[in-house]
Structure 1
């Protein structure tokens, strides 16, 4: 749900935080702490903080590349909302973000007969 929320509410910090590294995309705790701190100081959303910090040396390497890819994907998915049925957009987001594959891997790791609850 957080992926869909961020598509329609780009400044939703809680949704951003829930999906930014799920599935893992190389954005570690240090980068997240930097984003949190900057967002708090500037009194802006986590999304806005990430956008601003990508243009500085505060975010580097794999984290920077991952954020750039993440925002590129969000922009593309948002553009689909006006031309594509929302259920199809949800499927595309889940597949392209790697979420579907993550679920499938998790399901394979749980031994048969073991409850998820």
Structure 2
């Protein structure tokens, strides 16, 4: 007996499901006869169950709490932002102009230095203009 074919893929899939095969296990077959194309279905084998391992899962490093003051969190250690903040901690009286001037020497982006400068000021509670040193 010849397998039944259908004019549309959806009809072949529907026939497979009606025959009791789960939809994800219905495979569509293509039958070409000259210019005519028909579709059939066949039941696929269920994938093998994933192998269960008893290895101990990797434990993620504990999160280091970041200090927060005045609604601003200090950047994580080791990044460029933290390097800018460390420079600002070492030069607390520096202006944004001086911080931007130091950027090329350290390989920092000048615009990021300006953003970090103002975040650092807010973190430390500095607002308004400061009196000129000297």
Higher RCO (CA < 8 A, seq sep 6+): 1
Q: Which TM-score band (shorter chain)?
A: under 0.3
TM-score by length of 1: 0.23
Q: If you compute each CA radius of gyration, which structure gives the higher value, 1 or 2?
A: 2
Bigger fraction of residues in helix:
1
